[in-house]
Amino acid sequence: MAGYFSSLSAKVTRARIPPAAAAVAALFLLLGISRAVHSGLVSSYETRWDQVSEEQCRGHLSIAIARFSQEQQSLRRLVDGLAASPEVHAFFLNKGSDRTPLFDRLAQLSREEGVGIDVYDGRGELAAWEGPGGPVPSGDLARALEGRPFTYVVRTPVSSLLLIGIPIRIADTVRGIGVVRRIIDSSAPLNNPLLRQEAVDEQLSREIGTTVEFSFAGEGETVNDSRYCSGPMYGPDSTFLGTVSVLRPARVMFFDSLGNVFQRIDAVLSVLLLLFAGWSVARPVASVRSPALGALLITALIWSIRYALLWLDVPSGFLSGGAFDPGMFASKFGFGLAKSIGELTITTVALSLNVALAARLWVRKSASIPSAARAPLPARVVAALAATILLFWILRGYAAAIRSGVFDSGLTYFDARVLLPSPGLVFMVFNFFLLGTCTIFAGIALALAIARWCSPAEGDSVSSSGWIAAGVLLAFAGVAFGMVRGTPLTSTLYRLVFGFGVLMAARGYQKLSAAGDILELRRYALLILAAAVVLLYPLLDDFVHEKDRGRVEVYAADELKPVDGWLKHVVEEGLHGFESEGYRERLSEGDAGDVAGIAFERWSSSLACSQGYDAMFTVIDPDGREASRFVIGSSIAGMTEADTALPLSSETIVRVRNFGTGVNALKVYAGSMPILGSDSALLGHVRVVVAAGQQALFRGETPAILRGSSEARMESFYRRVTLSEYRDGILLTSNNPLVPIARPLPEPVSEAFTDSTRASLWASEEIDGDRYETFFVRRGPTGIISLGLKELGATWHIVGIVKLAAGWAIVALLLILWWRIVQWRRRVPFRMTFRDRLLIALLVTAIVPLTFVAFYARVYEGEQQMETLEQQLDEETQGVIYNITEHPEQGVSVPAFPDTPLKAEELASDIGTDFNIYTDNRLRVSSRPTLYDVGILDTRLSGNVYAKIVLGGKRFVIQTEKIGSVEYSVGYRPILDANQNIIGVVSVPTLFRSEESEEQAARRNALLLGTYAAVLLLVVAIAAAFAGRIAAPVQKLTEATRRVAKGELDVHVSHEGAEGEISELIRAFDQMTHDLRRNREDLVRYERELAWKEMAKQVAHEIKNPLTPMRLSIQHLRRTYLDGAANFREILESVTKTVIEQIDTLSRIASEFSSFARMPRRNLDRLEVGRVIEEAVRLFGQETSVVFDIQIGDGIPPIVADREELRRALINIIRNGIQAMDGAGSILIRSSRDGGGVALSVKDHGKGVPADMIGKLFMPNFSTKTDGMGLGLAIVKKTIEDLHGTVMLESEVGVGTTVMIWLPSAEPERKAPA
Amino acid sequence: MRTTAPLTLLVVLAQALSPGMSIPPGESEQAGKTEIRDVFDDVQRGISQGNVAIFSPHIHSQVRVTLHGGETGLYSANQAYYLLQNFLRDRKPVSFAFTTYGESESTPYGTGNAAFTFRGVRQHAQIYVALAREGGRWVIMLINIY
- Over residues A1106-1140, the pLDDT tens digits come to 777 787 788 888 888 888 888 888 888 888 888 88
**ipTM of this predicted structure:** 0.77
Please return the burial class of A21, using the count of CB atoms within 10 Å of its CB with bins 0-12, 13-18 and 19+.
Answer: middle
- Over residues A375-432, the pLDDT tens digits come to 777 888 888 899 999 998 899 899 999 999 999 988 888 776 666 677 888 889 889 9
A1251 residue type, one letter: A
Binary contact (B121, A251; C-beta < 8 A): no
Q: At what angle do helices A1272-1282 and A1128-1157 cross, to 10 degrees?
A: 20
Helix (H, G, I), strand (E, B) or coil at A984: strand
Percent of chain A having pLDDT more than 90?
10
Q: At what angle do helices A291-312 and A341-365 cross, to 10 degrees?
A: 160
Residue extents of the structural domains in chain A: 2-49, 56-168+180-249, 288-367, 372-561+795-831, 576-713, 720-791, 1060-1150, 1160-1304
Binary contact (A331, B78; C-beta < 8 A): yes
How many of the other CB atoms lie within 10 Å of CB of A332?
Answer: 19
Residue B2 lies in a domain: no
Q: Which residue in chain B has the smallest CA separation from A319?
A: B86
From chain B, pick out residues whose CB is under 8 angstroms from the CB of A401: none
Binary contact (A712, B64; C-beta < 8 A): yes
Binary contact (B107, A711; C-beta < 8 A): no
**How far apart are alpha carbons A507 and A497 in whole angstroms?**
15
146 residues of chain B, pLDDT tens digit each: 344 444 444 444 444 343 333 344 455 566 667 888 899 999 999 999 999 999 999 999 888 888 876 677 788 999 999 999 988 888 888 889 998 787 666 678 888 888 887 766 667 788 888 888 888 889 998 898 87
Mean pLDDT of A554-582: 76
Q: Which residue in chain A has the smallest CA separation from B83?
A: A326
- Name which of A227, A247, A565 is nearest B107 (Cβ-Cβ): A565
For residue B115, the enclosing domain spans 32-145
Cis peptide, bond prior to residue A315, ω within 30 of zero: yes
Q: Nearest CA of chain B to the CA of A830: how many Å?
A: 46
Q: Which residue in chain A has the smallest CA separation from B112?
A: A569
- Name which of B62, B66, B107 is nearest A550 (Cβ-Cβ): B62
Predicted local confidence at residue A118, as pLDDT: 92
Q: Does A1078 touch chain B (CB under 8 A)?
A: no
More confident residue, A672 or A1111: A672
- Residue of A208, A212, A246, A710 best to disrupt the B interface, most CBs of B under 10 A: A710
More confident residue, A863 or A483: A863
Q: What is the CA angle A729-A733-A735, rounded to 5?
A: 130
Q: Does A410 touch chain B (CB under 8 A)?
A: yes
**How far apart are alpha carbons A271 and A277 in whole angstroms?**
10
Architecture of the domain delimited by A1160-1304: 2-Layer Sandwich (3.30)
Q: Does A549 touch chain B (CB under 8 A)?
A: no
**Cβ within 8 Å of B, A 691-750:** 708-712
Q: Which residue in chain A has the smallest CA separation from B108?
A: A565
From chain A, pick out residues whose CB is under 8 angstroms from the CB of B132: 557, 561
CATH of the domain at B124: 3.10.450.50
- Name which of A329, A330, A554 is nearest B74 (Cβ-Cβ): A554
pLDDT surpassing 60 at residue A1015: yes
Q: How confident is the model at residue A348 (pLDDT cuts 50, 70, 90)?
A: very high
Q: How confident is the model at residue A1072 (pLDDT cuts 50, 70, 90)?
A: confident
More confident residue, A222 or A332: A332
**Sequence-ordered list of residues with C-beta below 8 angstroms from that of A40, at least 6 positions apart, any chain:** none
- Name which of B66, B82, B121 is nearest A250 (Cβ-Cβ): B121
From chain A, pick out residues whose CB is under 8 angstroms from the CB of B119: 250, 253, 256
- Over residues A608-634, the pLDDT tens digits come to 876 677 888 999 988 888 888 887 776
Predicted local confidence at residue A92, as pLDDT: 84
Torsions phi, psi of A942, nearest 5? Answer: -55, 135
Q: Does B95 touch chain A (CB under 8 A)?
A: no
Q: Which residue in chain B has the smallest CA separation from A408?
A: B76
Predicted local confidence at residue B140, as pLDDT: 92
- Name which of B64, B82, B119 is nearest A330 (Cβ-Cβ): B82
Distances (CA, A) of A467 to A188, A496, A538, A674, A1133: 70, 15, 27, 83, 72
pLDDT surpassing 50 at residue A1065: yes
Residue B37 lies in a domain: yes
pLDDT surpassing 50 at residue A715: no
Q: Does A260 touch chain B (CB under 8 A)?
A: no
pLDDT surpassing 50 at residue A439: yes
Residue B107 lies in a domain: yes
Q: What is the DSSP string of A481-498?
A: HTTSTT-----HHHHHHH
Mean pLDDT of A777-792: 82
Q: Nearest CA of chain A to the CA of B42: how many Å?
A: 20
From chain B, pick out residues whose CB is under 8 angstroms from the CB of A253: 119-121
Q: How confident is the model at residue A987 (pLDDT cuts 50, 70, 90)?
A: very high
Torsions phi, psi of A713, nearest 5? Answer: -75, 165
Q: What share of chain B is helix, strand, coil (3-state, %, to 5)?
A: 45, 40, 15
More confident residue, A637 or A766: A766
- Residue of A318, A561, A717 best to disrupt the B interface, most CBs of B under 10 A: A561
Predicted local confidence at residue A978, as pLDDT: 76
Q: Which residue in chain B has the smallest CA separation from A330?
A: B79
Mean pLDDT of A87-101: 80
DSSP state of B74: E
Residue B7 lies in a domain: no
Predicted local confidence at residue A491, as pLDDT: 80
As for how many domains chain B has, the answer is 1
Architecture of the domain delimited by A720-791: 2-Layer Sandwich (3.30)
The least confident of A255-269, A648-662, A910-924, A1231-1245 is A648-662
How many of the other CB atoms lie within 10 Å of CB of A747?
Answer: 10
Predicted local confidence at residue A344, as pLDDT: 94
Predicted local confidence at residue A1136, as pLDDT: 86
Residue B16 lies in a domain: no
**Cβ within 8 Å of B, A 1087-1116:** none
The least confident of A666-675, A986-995, A1146-1155 is A1146-1155
Q: Does B132 touch chain A (CB under 8 A)?
A: yes
Residue B46 lies in a domain: yes
A230 residue type, one letter: S
Q: Which residue in chain B has the smallest CA separation from A227?
A: B121
**Sequence-ordered list of residues with C-beta below 8 angstroms from that of A204, at least 6 positions apart, any chain:** A63, A64, A67, A212
**What is A576-713's CATH topology?**
Beta-Lactamase (3.30.450)
Predicted local confidence at residue B23, as pLDDT: 41
- Over residues A838-847, the pLDDT tens digits come to 888 888 888 8
Same fold? A576-713, A720-791: yes
Residue B14 lies in a domain: no
Q: What is the mean pLDDT of chain A?
A: 80
> How many residues can be counted in chain B?
146
Residue B67 lies in a domain: yes
From chain A, pick out residues whose CB is under 8 angstroms from the CB of B71: 327
Mean pLDDT of A731-759: 84
The least confident of A255-259, A459-463, A839-843 is A459-463
- Name which of B83, B120, B126 is nearest A256 (Cβ-Cβ): B120
Q: Nearest CA of chain B to the CA of A184: how many Å?
A: 21
Sign of CA dihedral A866, A872, A878, A884: negative
